[in-house]
Amino acid sequence: MSGRTRKDGPFPHDLRNLLTTISTVLPQSLPKTAAYLLPAASITALGHPNLLGPLFTDVLAFLPERSSKKISLQLRDVLLKQWTLIGIPLVVTAVSSLASAEKASGIEFPSGLSSKYSKDDSLAPSEAISNRGEKFMRKLYQSNLEPILSTWGSHEADFTWLEKSVIYGLFLSDHEVLSEVETELVIMSSIMAQGLKGPTLWHVRGLRRLGISKKDVEEAIKIVVECARYLGHGDKDWVSWVAEVDGEV
pLDDT for 21-36, tens place per residue?
999 999 999 999 999 9
pTM for the model? 0.91
Q: Where are the domains of the chain?
A: 12-108+124-248
**Can you list the residues of the chain whose pLDDT is less than 70?**
1-13, 119-124
CATH topology (fold) of 12-108+124-248? AhpD-like (1.20.1290)
Give the pLDDT of residue 203: 98
Distances in Å between the Cα of 85 and the Cα atoms of 36, 42, 152, 196 are 19, 12, 18, 11
* Residue 98 backbone dihedrals phi, psi, to 5 degrees: -65, -45
Helix, strand, or coil (residue 167): helix
Which helix (DSSP H) or strand (DSSP E) does residue 198 occupy?
helix 197-209
Give the pLDDT of residue 111: 81
Give the pLDDT of residue 113: 80
